[in-house]
């Protein structure tokens, strides 16, 4: 692009266009107004979505990023606009979501003076960003934004925040843009050590009871094909973390289910019986491991991971392959022997039968009148054929969705994992649908989380984005209530919800709505929702005291999983 003098604000827009951005989420205000003025001029090239709260902008950007694999972008003003982004930024950091947030800031000469809407967003966001930077001079804009996108998407992805003072937005520069491809001392992609690959292959080939746990690293590293090839060649049973869900089709015969606090019975118990544990792109989160003192102590552990800080952080490894997971698996595959491990698989099948007889059968086809969350998810499976993207909020409904949703393709399960952010699903579903307009997007939300970002119904109304919203209403903060029932003698302290008329609220935003209270109406309502070409709100009144089982109590071992 030939050099020409433009304002810093225009430079921001041109930088975004150079990075291939065509969609941003945001909320205007005084300190970011020059950028919004340029957005208005470039509206044919860069579509801006006006959310109803800045937190909604970050979650929508996350949903877009998780569904597409691209970098999500959110824009806000200074002060409260910037601080309202922090929850979504923290969520993106712990879940490794690539996102660039741009905030306005008071003029350079006012920094540190407690000027109107001045907040030290750099200081506030430092612990929850992969990188952040405050631009105080216009000439910095192209280089810093190029770095922001490179850092956000490279290696282990994450959120970056760029704070731009108002003077830097007004001042003029000769504009030129060069994409960033490297930064001194930043090594996002470690070099693969082939000796470690050989060591890992030898352990896998000699194992009698090998077990794979795969996480979101497979999806972020676009290594789904390599995972499938490894599982099928080696014959090793594979289980997923909630963010790894959909990297391998749920119906694949070697996919044995979910690990973790509310995961499947077999994968959790047999973690403590395998002889080689192969961890692929996962971080041994405490919700996966339970009590670390008793976690997989009998097993040799192989860890494929891109982030060196995760190696030996929670679980001591026998062999660590520090590299891009796709490259690691491509190098590993030729060294793996073809096997079946039939007797080992039979152990998983036996445990699944116990779980089905005790929990799953009653959850999916209840023998009582009340509608269960599990059967609602199963009804969505029936009508979506496993082709929908499901965006779940946080709570019991999230665990039911992760346990029972069926997925045929990757990037289909979008949820808040590490931070557990209530209010995530509604705006994230907006971003996912805008990123993948040809896929059905269904938000699964509890009555508690729904009310945390309910105002984003206004964004749906204004943009006409055809997301499908399912609120599973048990008139409780269900997950907290479950813990109160099991561990606090049923003292339901501050968990009973007196809810408004959700259907009336959705209809107030001109969204077609329906409420289901009887099982016989559920099938037709879900079919109608998924057949709709427009947005649709479905409230399902579910059992008030329906619990998620199995469950590993806090601090317990994976071997101590409770079925009831």
108, 117, 198, 382: which is the annotated catalytic residue?
Answer: 117
H helices present in 189-324, as ranges: 194-206, 217-220, 224-234, 265-271, 286-289
Based on the residue annotation, tell me whether 54 is a catalytic residue of this protein.
Answer: yes
Task: Answer for the pair 294, 226: CB distance below 8 angstroms, yes or no.
Answer: no
Structure tokens at 245: 């869900």
Locate 285 and state its tokens.
Answer: 């989160």
Nearest to 91 by CA among 397, 434, 453, 494: 453
Backbone angles phi, psi at 457, to 5 degrees: -60, -30
Cα–Cα dist 406/387, whole Å: 8
Cα separation values, 516 from 372, 471, 529, 537, 542, Å:
12, 10, 12, 11, 9
Question: Nearest 5°: phi and psi at 397?
Answer: -60, -35
Candidates 41, 43, 45, 116; catalytic one:
116
d(CA 244, CA 250): 11
Which strands make up the sheet holding 238-240, listed edge to edge? 255-258, 238-240, 210-214, 276-280, 300-305, 319-322
- Among the listed residues 130, 147, 166, 515, the single catalytic one is 166
Report the distance separating Cα 47 and Cα 21, nearest Å: 9
- Which residues are CB-contacts of 442 (< 8 A; sequence separation ≥ 6)? 380, 384, 388, 389, 390, 391, 429, 467, 468, 469, 470, 530
Q: Given 479, 529, 551, 561, which residue is catalytic?
A: 479
SS3 of residue 96 by DSSP: coil
Is residue 165 within a helix (H) or strand (E), and if so which, with residue range?
strand 159-165
Cis preceding-peptide flag for 101 (omega within 30 of 0): no
Catalytic residue of the set 19, 38, 54, 347: 54
Question: Quick check: is 422 catalytic?
Answer: no
Burial of 137 (0-12, 13-18, 19+ CB in 10 A): middle
The tokens 């970056």 sit on which residue?
160
117 catalytic residue (yes or no)? yes
**Three-state DSSP string of 418-462:** CCCCCCCHHHHHHHHHHHCCCCCEEEEEEHHHHCCCHHHHHHHHH
Annotated active-site positions, please? Answer: 54, 116-117, 166, 479
């Amino acid at each position: 692009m030939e050099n020409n003098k433009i304002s810093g604000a225009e430079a921001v827009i041109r930088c975004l266009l150079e990075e291939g951005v065509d969609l941003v989420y945001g909320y205007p205000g005084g300190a970011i107004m020059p950028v919004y003025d340029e957005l208005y001029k470039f509206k044919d090239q860069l579509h801006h979505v006006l959310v109803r709260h800045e937190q909604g902008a970050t979650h929508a950007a996350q949903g877009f990023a998780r569904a597409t694999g691209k970098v999500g972008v959110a824009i806000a003003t200074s002060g409260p606009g910037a601080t309202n982004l922090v929850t979504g930024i923290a969520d993106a950091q712990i879940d490794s979501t690539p996102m660039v947030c741009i905030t306005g800031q008071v003029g350079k000469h006012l920094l540190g003076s407690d000027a109107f809407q001045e907040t030290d967003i750099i200081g506030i966001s430092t612990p929850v960003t992969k990188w952040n930077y405050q631009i105080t001079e216009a000439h910095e804009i192209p280089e810093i934004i190029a770095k922001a996108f490179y850092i956000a998407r490279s290696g282990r992805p994450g959120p970056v925040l760029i704070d731009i003072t108002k003077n830097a937005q007004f001042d003029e520069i000769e504009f030129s843009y060069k994409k960033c491809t490297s930064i001194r001392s930043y090594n996002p992609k470690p070099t693969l050590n082939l000796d470690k690959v050989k060591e890992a292959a030898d352990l896998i080939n000699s194992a009698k009871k090998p077990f794979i746990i795969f996480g979101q690293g497979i999806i972020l590293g676009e290594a789904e094909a390599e995972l499938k090839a490894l599982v099928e060649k080696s014959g090793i049973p594979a289980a997923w973390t909630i963010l790894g869900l959909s990297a391998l089709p749920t119906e694949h015969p070697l996919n044995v289910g979910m690990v973790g606090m509310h995961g499947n019975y077999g994968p959790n118990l047999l973690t403590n019986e395998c002889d080689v544990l192969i961890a692929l792109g996962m971080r041994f989160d405490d919700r996966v491991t339970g009590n670390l003192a008793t976690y997989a102590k009998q097993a040799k552990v192989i860890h494929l991971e891109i982030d060196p800080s995760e190696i030996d952080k929670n679980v001591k490894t026998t062999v660590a392959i520090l590299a891009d997971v796709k490259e690691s698996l491509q190098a590993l595959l030729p060294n793996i022997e073809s096997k079946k491990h039939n007797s080992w698989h039979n152990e998983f099948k036996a445990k699944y039968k116990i779980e089905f007889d005790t929990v799953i059968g009653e959850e999916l086809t209840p023998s009582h009148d009340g509608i269960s969350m599990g059967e609602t998810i199963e009804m969505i499976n029936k009508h979506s054929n496993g082709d929908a993207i499901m965006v779940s909020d946080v709570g019991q409904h999230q665990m039911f969705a992760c346990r029972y949703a069926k997925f045929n393709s990757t990037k289909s399960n979008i949820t808040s994992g590490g931070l557990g952010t209530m209010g995530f699903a509604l705006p994230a579903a907006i971003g996912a649908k805008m990123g993948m307009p040809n896929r059905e997007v269904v938000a699964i939300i509890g009555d508690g989380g729904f009310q945390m970002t309910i105002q984003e119904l206004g964004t749906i109304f204004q943009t006409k984005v055809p997301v499908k919203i399912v609120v599973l209403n048990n008139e409780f903060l269900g997950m907290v209530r479950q813990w109160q029932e099991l561990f606090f003698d049923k003292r339901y302290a501050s968990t009973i919800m007196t809810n408004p008329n959700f259907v009336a609220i959705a209809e107030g935003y001109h969204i077609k709505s329906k409420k289901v209270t009887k099982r016989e109406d559920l099938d037709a309502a879900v079919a109608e929702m998924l057949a709709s070409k427009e947005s649709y709100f479905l409230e399902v009144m579910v059992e008030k005291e329906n619990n998620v089982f199995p469950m590993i109590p806090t601090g317990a071992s994976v071997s101590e999983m409770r079925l009831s």
